[in-house]
Chains A and B, each alone.
Chain A
Amino acid sequence: MLGIFSKIKSHLRTITLFFVLFVVIFFAAFYLVNLDLNPEAKKVSVSSPIITPDLGTELNNRIGSTVVSMESYDDWAKRYVLYERNKGLDSDPDKDGLPNYLEYVYGTNPIKADTDDDGYSDKQEIINGYDPDAPGDTKPVVDVAISRINVDAPMIWSKSEKESDMLADLENGLSHFSKTASPGQAGNMIISGHSSNYVWAKGNYNHIFENLNDLQKGDTVTIRTAQQNGRVITYAYTVSDKFITTADDPKVFAAGDTPVLTLSTCWPIGTNLRRIIIKADLAK
């Protein structure tokens, strides 16, 4: 036993040197391979797909105003010839399940159950994440903004739950987990983003969620949807919980009757061992 200790002591210098070199080289290589080498440059290139209405000087001069607001609810009701009997906020003249105030917000026709004539009612389309005022399988453009961690990125509607599809989506922004809730709708909406990726990986969003762990309870996550008819609807979610778990934890996928947002990314940074999960409730 004493012999072993004396041998270790005699090699202590070499062992110490080895460990120091190992740690230095390991972290240097880890940083080079995994982390964003020029974060500021990439942050500039990340821009919201939803353009905030900017009328420009010429249009401002022509209309003499810098602010354009939606028509009032009364004007809207008059345009669709809604009489006193059926112009209430909660009335539903076309019986599509969408009350007038939601028809007004989404810009859909309150006296026509299927505004875009694509075979699905306005309500069905909204619940399933489709644009109710655009034909076919058109989905609204969505972006996610989190001011606390300087995130403003497009959300890509994933085609399937296949990992390859989602990884392709992640090259162009954040990935919406297929068949989970749509923005503002009841249920659990799951959105994933990269916390790290190899330096040679494609895309400008390889580190978009690297600071997700900095979110605290009470922080706001803003989700904006832009329809083809020009309606931009903003949903604010308030962070309610944060935890670290596995990639297949049922708690992450559990859905109730209330609108919940789940944000996920790999953790610790530079690995895909675990997931950090942020839960947020729709603020009304």
Chain B
Amino acid sequence: MNKKNVSRTMKVSIAAASLVLSAVFASAVLADVNVDVDNTNTNVNNNTATANANQSQSQSQSQGSGSQDQSQSQSQSSSATNTTNQTQTSRSRVNVDVDKDSNGNRKHEQNGKRLPKTGTDTAGLIAIAALASVAAAFGVKKYSAR
């Protein structure tokens, strides 16, 4: 195997190892998905034909991973005399809680308290992974040079 091929293989291997690690971290850290969409439209018409329209939309998303819930509701009301009001609201929610850790909701955003870090830092884990990648690449290079 020539040097060029070894170098290319190592690059591919390091990229693959990084990809695997990224996937592991993504599944562990980003465990839940929440998507909320709220829409409200109001139209008011009277004899002088004035109109108001309000629209608000909010969306939030966070990632995670197991079960999936989806609910959707829609309501519409209208009245007409001299004034016409029309309100339309739609709401949809998607929750994904793959690891079934009961965190597939948005309550967490309102909590100010946090348990202390009682384990080694994630940065340490990444450093070890990087070190292992470099050492493994060095080992492969040595082996291939034989």
Residue ranges of A at the interface with B (Cβ–Cβ < 8 Å): 10-11, 14-15, 17-19, 21-23, 25-26, 29-30, 33-34, 161, 163, 166-167, 170, 175, 177, 190, 192-198, 209, 243-253, 264-275
Contact = CB atoms under 8 A, between A and B. Distances in A.
A192 B116 contact: yes
Contact of A198 (B107, B116, B120, B133): B120
Given A14-B144, A26-B128, A194 B107 contact: no
B137 interface: yes
Given A22-B132, A250-B107, A245 B102 contact: yes
A144 to B, nearest CB: 14
Interface residues of B, number: 46
Contacts of A252: 115
Contacts of A21: 132, 135-136, 139-140
Contacts of B41: none
Interface in B81-115: 99, 101-103, 107-108, 110-115
Q: Is the interface of B mostly helix, strand, loop or mixed?
A: helix
B121 interface: yes
B28 A246 contact: no
B12 A245 contact: no
A272 B10 contact: no
A174 to B, nearest CB: 10
B143 A17 contact: yes
B102 A11 contact: no
Nearest to B28: A273
A268 B132 CA distance: 20
Q: Is the interface of A mostly helix, strand, loop or mixed?
A: mixed
B140 A14 contact: yes
Contact of B102 (A14, A193, A243, A266): A243
B17 interface: yes
B125 A249 contact: no
A25 B99 CA distance: 29
A253 B16 contact: no
A247 B114 contact: yes
25 contacts: A14-B140, A15-B13, A15-B16, A18-B10, A18-B14, A22-B132, A22-B136, A29-B128, A29-B131, A33-B128, A161-B113, A166-B116, A194-B119, A198-B120, A245-B101, A245-B103, A246-B103, A247-B115, A250-B108, A265-B119, A271-B28, A272-B118, A273-B29, A275-B115, A275-B118
Given A21-B136, A170-B118, 18 more contacts: A11-B5, A14-B140, A18-B9, A22-B17, A26-B129, A30-B125, A34-B124, A167-B116, A175-B116, A248-B111, A249-B103, A266-B117, A271-B28, A272-B118, A272-B120, A273-B28, A273-B29, A273-B122
